Structure 1
Amino acid sequence: MALINVTNTTRKEKSLLLNTLAGSVKTLENSYTTVDLRNEHCVTGKIVKVDGYMNLEMEDVVFYDMRGAQKCLATFYVCGRNIRQVHIPKRIDPVEMFKNQLTNLTRRKEKTKKVFKTSRAEKKNLQTIREAYK
């Protein structure tokens, strides 16, 4: 499973990734799977990129139409509204996938380095408090 990188997404896309099943499809990036389309066709290949609207970019694709004819393609793009079902590969545990999705998508506060002005102000405040309570 791929780690979820949401640095280049908008707020709305981040919200969609957290609150819809698009986030679970996002965890399938860089893995091979099958996607069933609304028009009875299906596509099997490697998912390269997924956005918050569940639009998929795939590579090394085999496209199957409803009559069973196959066509090999280098790349393939699927609009999210045309997806009926995304198959989760058997080697991936769905419970772990959802846990990883939630832990990787939640916001983490990064530690910021204090600037000199801030540290000097904190020292001055501590000194003032010590003098006041002596």
Structure 2
Amino acid sequence: MQQFSSREKYMVSNTLNCWPIMLQGHSVLIDLQNETSVAGIIDIADGHMTCELIHAVFIDRNGGQHPFDHFMVRNRMIRQIHIPAHLDAEQELRKAMERGVLRRTRVETKKGKRTFKQKRADIRHKETLQMISQQKKEQKET
């Protein structure tokens, strides 16, 4: 597993910055802020969402395709990351939490209690998973 700074750990654990890390090794399409896109396999991603793609194809505004062996996307340039259709978002989040991508080391206080931030982060993760499962149920019903 990669070594993250404390700020990156916080961002990965509490925001959607975890997705590029979880999608390492998968082929993705990333829409950029300047109306262009890049498709490729995420090789390296950090806690700030900076991604390095291999076997990438840059798609310009006119639809022209330009192949690259390596392509780096800065976090502020990302508009949207398309999650591959064959992946189940809820299941991927659960796996990531189990294997440690989203796992936070528990900071024990003198009494062994968790901090308010830790409790709130756990609640937000559970709410996100519930929202995803509700959306799945709604899609199955329609």
TM-score (structure 2 length as normaliser)? 0.69
Once residues 11 and 105 of structure 2 are traced to their aligned partners in structure 1, the CA distance between those partners, rounded to angstroms, is 18
Point out where structure 1 has 5 or more consecutive residues left out of the alignment. 110-134
Residue matched to 1:97: 92
Q: Which has the larger radius of gyration?
A: 1
Query: How many pairs does the alignment contain?
Result: 104
Structure 1 segment 1-134 matched on structure 2, within 5 A:
5-6=1-2, 8-103=3-98, 104=100, 105-107=102-104
Point out where structure 2 has 5 or more consecutive residues left out of the alignment. 107-142
SS at match of 1:91: coil
Once residues 75 and 67 of structure 1 are traced to their aligned partners in structure 2, the CA distance between those partners, rounded to angstroms, is 22
Would the aligned equivalents of 1:18 and 1:102 in 2 still touch at CA under 8 Å?
A: no
Once residues 108 and 10 of structure 1 are traced to their aligned partners in structure 2, the CA distance between those partners, rounded to angstroms, is 13
Percent identical among aligned pairs is 33
Alpha-carbon deviation of 1:108? 5.7
Q: Please list every run of at least 4 consecutive aligned residues from structure 1 whose deviation after the TM superposition is greater than 4 angstroms.
A: none
Would the aligned equivalents of 2:27 and 2:40 in 1 still touch at CA under 8 Å?
A: yes
Would the aligned equivalents of 1:24 and 1:101 in 2 still touch at CA under 8 Å?
A: no
SS at match of 1:29: coil
Once residues 42 and 24 of structure 1 are traced to their aligned partners in structure 2, the CA distance between those partners, rounded to angstroms, is 17
SS at match of 2:18: helix
Once residues 17 and 89 of structure 1 are traced to their aligned partners in structure 2, the CA distance between those partners, rounded to angstroms, is 20
Would the aligned equivalents of 1:63 and 1:71 in 2 still touch at CA under 8 Å?
A: yes
AA of the residue aligned to 2:31 = D
